[in-house]
Amino acid sequence: MKTRFLLATSVLAMFAPWAAAEEPKSSEYVRIDVRGELWEYVANPIRKPDIKRHIVTVGRGDTQQSFHLELGDDAARTQVKELLGKSVVITGDLTFRYETEGRPKDDPLRKNVIRVKSVKKAE
């Protein structure tokens, strides 16, 4: 009995990394328009200071939420660089991902991620 349990656990552990890397299905994201302020930050300034990421913050104080942006093409990257620090409207697909870098494996950080379709300045 213990042997079967250990065998099943080891098989699941082998396939877990590939399952996490799969592209989300159409039922695992929501199309969203977010209006907020666009910011750039360095996620890990000590180990990777040249990698910059972008977020949109919505709300103030206790109700503030951040959405991490996943930029697909160079046109979106150019638009984002021009609009840093300004109020923008982001259209894209909302999903989430668990980040474990710099954290214990059993306590990952959940991040809201928007796969950007378009970026424009808010009116």
Angle value at C-alpha 111, between 33 and 51, nearest 5 degrees: 95
Q: What pLDDT score was predicted for residue 87?
A: 92
- Answering whether pTM is above 0.85, one says no
Structure tokens at 41: 């930050």
What are the pLDDT digits (tens) for 33-88?
889 999 888 776 677 767 778 889 888 888 888 888 888 888 888 888 889 989 99
What value, to the nearest 5°, has the Cα angle with vertex 82 and ends 95 and 32?
Answer: 25
Each residue of 84-100: pLDDT tens digit? 989 999 888 888 887 77
